[in-house]
Amino acid sequence: MKIDEIVPSTKTAFVAAAAGLLLALAPGVASAQSVPSPAPSTPAAPGGTATSSESTPGRASKPPQTTSFGHLPIIDVSPVFTQPLDYTNSSQLKGYQPLDYNATIRVPVAPGVSVSFDRVIGGTLDVPLAKVSIAIPHRPSEIVLPGVSRDIVLFFHGTAVFRKYLTLDVGDADRHREFNSGGNGVSAVPFPASVSSTEAHWAYAGLSYATHPIKELAGSFFTFTEQAQEQNVDHHVGVLCTAAESLVGTYGCTAAGTAGVLDENAHQNKYYTTQQTVGLTIPIGGPRGAVLAVQDGWGALSWYENAPFPYSYSGIEQAILSKRFNSVFSLALRARQYYQHEQGAPFPAPNIIHLGSIDVIGTFHVDTNTLFH
């Protein structure tokens, strides 16, 4: 399947899903609370979602402001229900888990400065890829229906907000695969590399800028994000040791059946990449309405350490419709598409890896600084 055969249909599905989200929440906007000022952008989660941060990445609204500053934790727990968008056959959903939860613990350090821990799962971290075709010389092309895999991303990061509209976010992230319906690629032993390890680990620093609300666009505003990443793609690929290799210590093998390490490029252990996003946030229904945020991103979004070359998502599109009901609970609907353009294995050109999801996300927000006020 060629790129030009895949993209038009998925873009149509994405637009239709976004329109459906808008229609779903529009009747209830009158009872929502006021739309606050733009929030800091959140760490990029390849294929992921976040909690207070990632359940609605680049979201338009932030938790209600407290009247006094405190250093106690601010906790968000976000159950997420995911419907895969682009799988081809129900057989790809073997072992699929549609319901999970994200969580964020944020600790204020100073006004506008905080440190956070995010647990990110669900959404495109837990759906199968669209079907792909592999061209085999002298034989008809083989259609492959990838199974579902489930990853968890953990973020450790610090955030500083300057004058409400400029945000610096610096952190470290680990992506861990805990399930794969094909039985391969489960990261039982993340470090050192195992034969089936599919870990990803990266450090990042990013700046986000949100424009002031534009009166001529009914208070809508644009957001721009630039993120630099240090990706650990070690080329230390796990190999299954044989008795002969263990005898002479090839690949560091010590016994047959254990995991050795093949260093395909001893002179390069890291890659330096960037990721860019641009978004538009639209208030709906006035000061007590909902918020629609659309976003387009490109760059390097996900690389795995235990691979002979970098696997990366090169494009993302998403639309998020969110509504805050009170200071404790908010609800969001999200449609998302990911694309990984020609990279070679595991699916040779002209294929691209593509996946998508529609998610329902509820967020329960608890600020322990105000519990007893």
Q: What pTM does this model have?
A: 0.75
| Residue-wise pLDDT tens digits, 9-24 | 334 443 344 434 333 3
Task: Retrieve residue 226's tokens.
Answer: 């630039």
Average pLDDT, the chain: 75
Neighbours of 70 (CB within 10 A): 14
For domain 3-234+269-367, is the CATH number 2.40.160.40? yes
% helix, strand, coil for the chain, step of 5: 15, 45, 40
Task: Retrieve residue 260's tokens.
Answer: 């050795």
Q: How confident is the model at residue 291 (pLDDT cuts 50, 70, 90)?
A: very high
Q: Which amino acid is at 306?
A: N
Mean pLDDT of 255-280: 81
- Map out the domains of the chain as residue ranges: 3-234+269-367
Mean pLDDT of 365-373: 85
Lowest mean pLDDT among 41-55, 198-212, 308-322, 347-361: 41-55
